[in-house]
Amino acid sequence: MELTVGPSQFFWPADFWTGFYQDLTQSPVDRVVIGELVCSKRLPFYQDRIPDAISALIEAGKQVSLTSLALITLKRERKLTAELAEMGVTVEVNDLTALAHLPKGCAFTVGPLVNVYNEGTLNWLAARGANRVCLPPELPLESVEALTRVANDLDIAIEVWGHGRLPLAISGRCYHARLHGRTKDNCQFACEDDPDGLEVLTGDGRPFMAMNGVQTLSDSYACTDHQIDQLRWVGVSALRLSPQSKGFAKLCILYRQRLDQTLPQGGVAKAITTEDPALRLSDGFLTGACGADWSGTS
Partner 1 sequence: MVMEIVCPAGTPAALRAAVKAGAHTVYCGFNDETNARNFPGLNFNRSEMRDAVSFAHQHGSKVLVAINTFPRAGDEAIWHSAVADAETCGADAVILADLGLLDHTARTHPGLRRHLSVQAAAANADVINFYADTFGVKRVVLPRVLSVPEIAAINAETEVETEVFVFGGLCVMAEGRCSLSSYATGLSPNMNGVCSPASHVDYSEDQGVLDARLGGYLIHRVDKGEPAPYPTLCKGCFTAGSQTGHLFEDPVSLNAEQLIPQLQKAGVTALKIEGRQRSKSYVAQVVRNFRAAVDALEAGRPMPEGMLARLSEGQAMTTGAYKKTWR
Please report whether residue 218 would count as binding partner 1 according to CB under 8 A: yes
Number of residues that bind partner 1 (CB under 8 A): 72
Report DSSP state, residue 242.
P
Please report whether residue 155 would count as binding partner 1 according to CB under 8 A: no
Q: Which of 35, 137, 162, 213 binds partner 1 (CB under 8 A)?
A: 137
CB of 10 to partner 1, least distance (A): 15
Identity at 63, one-letter amino acid code = Q
Q: In what helix (H) or strand (E) does residue 239 lie, and over which residues does it extend?
A: strand 238-241
Q: What are 66's strand-pairing partners?
A: 34, 91
Q: Which of 23, 52, 155, 199 binds partner 1 (CB under 8 A)?
A: 199
Cα dihedral 38/40/46/50 (nearest 10): 80
Distance set, CA 112 to CA 41, 95, 184, 194, 273 (Å):
22, 10, 25, 23, 26
- In whole angstroms, give the CA distance from residue 285 to residue 91: 27
- In whole angstroms, give the CA distance from residue 210 to residue 201: 9
CB of 148 to partner 1, least distance (A): 10
Q: What are 78's strand-pairing partners?
A: none
Q: Which of 168, 249, 253, 279 binds partner 1 (CB under 8 A)?
A: 168
Q: For residues 18-57, which are near partner 1 according to CB under 8 A?
A: none
CB of 89 to partner 1, least distance (A): 21
CB of 239 to partner 1, least distance (A): 19
Please report whether residue 185 would count as binding partner 1 according to CB under 8 A: yes
Q: For residues 99-118, which are near partner 1 according to CB under 8 A?
A: 99-101, 113, 115-118
Q: Which of 47, 188, 202, 261 binds partner 1 (CB under 8 A)?
A: 202
Give backbone dihedrals phi and psi of 292, rounded to 5 degrees, phi first: -75, -10
CB of 82 to partner 1, least distance (A): 8
Contacts of residue 183, Cβ cutoff 8 Å, sequence gap at least 6: 174, 177
CB of 140 to partner 1, least distance (A): 9
Give backbone dihedrals phi and psi of 8, rounded to 5 degrees, phi first: -65, 135
CB atoms within 10 A of CB 165: 23
- In whole angstroms, give the CA distance from residue 9 to residue 222: 14
- In whole angstroms, give the CA distance from residue 243 to residue 223: 13
Stretch of residues binding partner 1 (CB under 8 A), selected from 4-12, 13-21, 55-63, 281-289: 281-289
Name the residue nearer to partner 1 (CB basis): 16 or 124: 124
- In whole angstroms, give the CA distance from residue 165 to residue 283: 11
Stretch of residues binding partner 1 (CB under 8 A), selected from 29-37, 49-57, 205-213, 269-277: 205-213
Stretch of residues binding partner 1 (CB under 8 A), selected from 20-28, 201-209, 224-232, 247-255: 201-209
Please report whether residue 122 would count as binding partner 1 according to CB under 8 A: yes
Q: For residues 239-278, which are near partner 1 according to CB under 8 A?
A: none
CB of 49 to partner 1, least distance (A): 27
Stretch of residues binding partner 1 (CB under 8 A), selected from 29-37, 94-102, 152-160, 256-264: 94-102
Please report whether residue 73 would count as binding partner 1 according to CB under 8 A: yes
C-alpha closest to that of 161 among 107, 94, 208: 94
